[in-house]
Amino acid sequence: MQASPTAAEPIETEAELRGKTATMCMMLNLQGSIGMFGHVSIRVPDTDRILLSPGAGSEKGAIRPEDVFVFDIHGEILEHPGGEIPLEWRIHTQIHRDRPEIMSVTHLHAQHSTLLGIAGRPIVPVFLHGAFLHTGVPVWDDPRLVVNDAQAASLSAALGKNVAVQQRGHGSVVVGESAEIAFFRSTFFEENARKQVEAEILGGALPLKPEEAADCARGTFNPRLLRLLWGYYERKARQALANNTPMPESW
């Protein structure tokens, strides 16, 4: 997964990306991957502006574009919509500084990937759509909250050039060259972990062979699937919201 399949698409406006930030948070909430404390960010292309979903206490299934924080890449809050600032905002600003090709970052508190970290078990690709993990998932060996610059730099260094990093006893961070890619990776990162945990209960998870994983990754990582996956979960998230609260006409 070297290049973004969406690279040729028109650059989206900041207003559109605010909507995507909110939608992505809602979709990951629907999956149960973001929990009370997780958050997502999208970088506005060709700027130092980072759009960040709100922190603990916010209703992650009903985030709206106007709820999104705007940070600059060095950590200054440019727009504060009210509500709780994500305590671990440095995860996002640090990785966006260190990885300029990355346009979206998710901090997940997903059940099965976190369990594997607690058990000291590496996440390995065990099924078709988890094949992209064949490049490896490093571990940041620290369960603490990321609340200072040194911790953020250490976590980003552990991530390196990989697409995901486990935070032992805490959660994980997943990145992508677009919001759609980050959502794809976040979705199948946790689904792969769930299948891996369940297979271990049955007697052992068999990882994909290296050549199988590489072939599967090439076959499943494409613009069509990115679009279908996003659309599928966006419809489900909007329907879940509509069943509980009236939605603005602009949505």
- The ranges assigned to domains in the chain are 14-237
The pLDDT, as a whole number, for residue 247 is: 43
- E strand or H helix that includes residue 15: helix 14-31
This prediction has a pTM of: 0.92
Burial of 239 from C-beta contacts in 10 A (0-12 / 13-18 / 19+): exposed
Specify the pairing of strand 164-167 against strand 139-140.
parallel
Burial 39-51 (b: 16+ CB within 10 A, else e): bbbbbbeeeebbb
- Measure the CA–CA gap between 128 and 5, rounded to whole angstroms: 19
Question: What are the 10-residue block averages of pLDDT along the chain, 251 residues in total?
Answer: 49 95 97 95 97 92 95 97 94 98 98 96 97 97 98 98 98 98 98 97 95 95 95 95 60 37
Pick the CATH number of 14-237 from 3.40.225.10, 3.40.50.720, 3.40.50.300, 3.40.190.10: 3.40.225.10
Task: Pick the closest to residue 67 from 53, 77, 57 (CA basis).
Answer: 53
pLDDT of residue 9: 63
C-alpha–C-alpha distance, residues 90 and 87, integer Å? 8
Per-residue model confidence (pLDDT) at position 4: 44
Token pair, residue 230, equals: 């996003």
Burial state string for 104-119 with b = 16 or more CB within 10 A and e = fewer than 16: bbbbbbbebbbebbee
User: Which of 23, 33, 30, 41 is CA-nearest to residue 171?
Assistant: 33
pLDDT tens figures, 46-103: 999 999 999 888 899 999 999 999 999 999 999 999 988 999 999 999 999 999 999 9
How far are the Cα atoms of 71, 74, 166 from residue 171, in angstroms, in the given order?
A: 23, 24, 6
Q: Residue 71 forms beta bridges with which residues? A: 50, 77
